[in-house]
């Protein structure tokens, strides 16, 4: 059952991404030859409105195949026949739809249980935070000038800026103040001495606040993904720590199993939380300027817009193909890693 749930969540996220490309392509008058979920040979397919809709064997990925997308053909209805700005909008629509999906799911969570306010639930005695004057009940407003809206942002900033001295702007009894806190090295980790609780500090919202904090929720996951990528590039984490489709399916399945005892409502909430993370993650990853990804295609279109001349289609196709092969090799490595971590 957990595998089915995981595949359903994964499929919805992929379909929404490809739907972004599909809708903008149709709007621009580009012929979509195939809209598919999965990879490999077709299991089911049907034709409608000039487009073949397919469900394929391997339940990872999907595609929105457009006429002449990689051939440079500029005939009627082809991708290449449209203006560079129209093509940019089609390409960027996929990641944007992932962010939109994450926002829609966040609306349900924030509207149902509120948001985790950045309020301190504890300040340990004798720690840098206590010495600086921070107290339980203080609401963190900024850390080194960066606005803080969620408690998890406090946790993330502390993790991704480990060892840094932080200027905390906080609110107490309706008044704002600032303190500077330098972390202490305790048991091998830099700590300020503050603590919070995601569930204990949840605050309900009105309609406008629900929209606002749902956007903050999506922003949090986008920021987390970007910070994690920076850490990977800087060598702060190993490529062995990455998870691919197998690891993602396993994580979704584990979330489902662990939530079952709490009832259907909390199963739904926890699965939505995972789905928000995955959707935001997919949006960010696809915007990376890597050949074969949406971000790589955007780079070529931006260069075309600047040069006012299209890059040789054959050259572009070769570069994207090379990028695709490298990405497939990376996926095989990551999937092998996932299997090793799960079963061995």
Tell me the residue range of the domain where 159 lies: 116-203
CA 205 to chain centre: 24
Instruction: Return the structure tokens found at 111.
Output: 């509207």
Instruction: Report if residue 196 sits inside a domain.
Output: yes
Burial of 79 (0-12, 13-18, 19+ CB in 10 A): buried
- Mapped onto helix, strand or coil, the DSSP state of residue 144 is coil
* Spans in the chain with pLDDT lower than 70: 1-2, 72, 236-247, 338, 340-344
Instruction: Report if residue 234 sits inside a domain.
Output: no
Number of domains in the chain: 1
- Mapped onto helix, strand or coil, the DSSP state of residue 169 is strand
Contact assessment for residue 105 and residue 13, using Cβ atoms and an 8 Å cutoff: no
Please state the pTM of the whole predicted model.
Answer: 0.88
The domain that holds 173 is classified in CATH as: 2.30.42.10
* Interatomic CA distance for residues 52 and 4, integer angstroms: 25
- Mapped onto helix, strand or coil, the DSSP state of residue 211 is helix
What pLDDT is stored for residue 338 in this prediction?
66
What pLDDT is stored for residue 108 in this prediction?
95
* Interatomic CA distance for residues 182 and 184, integer angstroms: 7
Instruction: Report if residue 248 sits inside a domain.
Output: no
């Amino acid at each position: 059952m957990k595998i089915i749930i995981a595949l359903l969540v994964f499929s919805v996220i992929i379909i929404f991404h490809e739907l972004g490309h599909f809708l903008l392509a149709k709007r621009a008058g580009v012929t979509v030859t195939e809209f598919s979920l999965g990879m490999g040979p077709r299991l089911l397919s049907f034709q409608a409105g000039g487009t073949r809709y397919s469900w394929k064997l391997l339940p990872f990925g999907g595609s929105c195949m457009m006429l002449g997308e990689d051939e440079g053909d500029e005939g009627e209805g082809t991708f290449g026949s449209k203006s560079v700005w129209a093509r940019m909008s089609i390409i960027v629509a996929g990641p944007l739809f992932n962010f939109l999906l994450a926002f829609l799911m966040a609306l349900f969570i924030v509207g149902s249980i509120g948001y985790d306010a950045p309020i301190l639930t504890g300040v340990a005695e004798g720690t840098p935070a206590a010495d600086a004057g921070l107290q339980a009940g203080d609401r963190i407003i900024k850390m080194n000038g960066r606005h803080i809206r969620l408690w998890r942002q406090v946790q993330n900033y502390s993790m991704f800026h480990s060892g840094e001295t932080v200027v905390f702007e906080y609110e107490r009894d309706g008044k704002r103040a600032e303190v500077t806190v330098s972390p202490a090295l305790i048991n091998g980790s830099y700590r300020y001495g503050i603590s919070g609780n995601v569930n204990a500090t949840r605050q309900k919202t009105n309609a406008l606040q629900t929209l606002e904090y749902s956007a903050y929720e999506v922003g949090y996951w986008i920021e987390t993904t970007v910070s994690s990528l920076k850490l990977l590039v800087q060598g702060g984490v190993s490529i062995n720590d990455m998870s691919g489709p197998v690891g993602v399916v396993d994580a979704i399945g584990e979330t489902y199993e662990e939530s079952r005892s709490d009832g259907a409502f909390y199963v739904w909430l926890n699965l939505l939380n995972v789905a928000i993370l995955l959707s935001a993650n997919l949006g960010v990853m696809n915007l990376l300027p890597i050949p074969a990804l949406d971000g790589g295609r955007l780079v070529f279109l931006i260069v075309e817009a600047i040069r006012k001349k299209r890059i040789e289609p054959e050259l572009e196709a070769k570069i994207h193909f090379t990028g695709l092969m490298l990405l497939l090799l990376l996926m095989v490595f990551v999937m092998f890693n996932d299997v090793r971590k799960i079963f061995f």
